[in-house]
Amino acid sequence: MAEVRLQEGESLENALRRFKRKVQQEDIIKEVKRHSFYLKPGEKMRVKQALARKRNRKKARRESE
């Protein structure tokens, strides 16, 4: 769980910015979205394969440039 303590003399905006960065680094939002609903094993496999295809297309596009 991400936790940020407000440092002495620090503005709330800076602390909030640090908190958002920490949450993003720890992939908390991605984990919550992944657990928010159940995917059948077959559906999970299809999603994983689709992401792999997308990654490969992006990699091929970068290499061709």
- Tell me what pLDDT residue 11 has: 93
Instruction: Give the pLDDT mean for 18-26.
Output: 90
pLDDT of residue 30 exceeding 90, the answer is no
The range of the structural domain enclosing residue 59 comes to 12-64
Mean pLDDT for all residues in the chain: 91
Q: Which residues contact 21 (CB under 8 A, 6 or more apart)?
A: none
Reported for 5-9, long-range contacts at CB under 8 A and 24+ positions apart, including other chains, are none
Tell me, yes or no, whether 43 lies in a domain. Answer: yes
Which pLDDT band holds residue 40 (cuts at 50, 70, 90)?
A: very high
Distance CA 41, CA 22 (A): 31
Tell me, yes or no, whether 7 lies in a domain. Answer: no
pTM of the model: 0.48
Token pair listed for 36: 């928010």
Token pair listed for 62: 């970068």
Domain count, the chain: 1
pLDDT of residue 5 exceeding 80, the answer is yes
Tell me, yes or no, whether 58 lies in a domain. Answer: yes
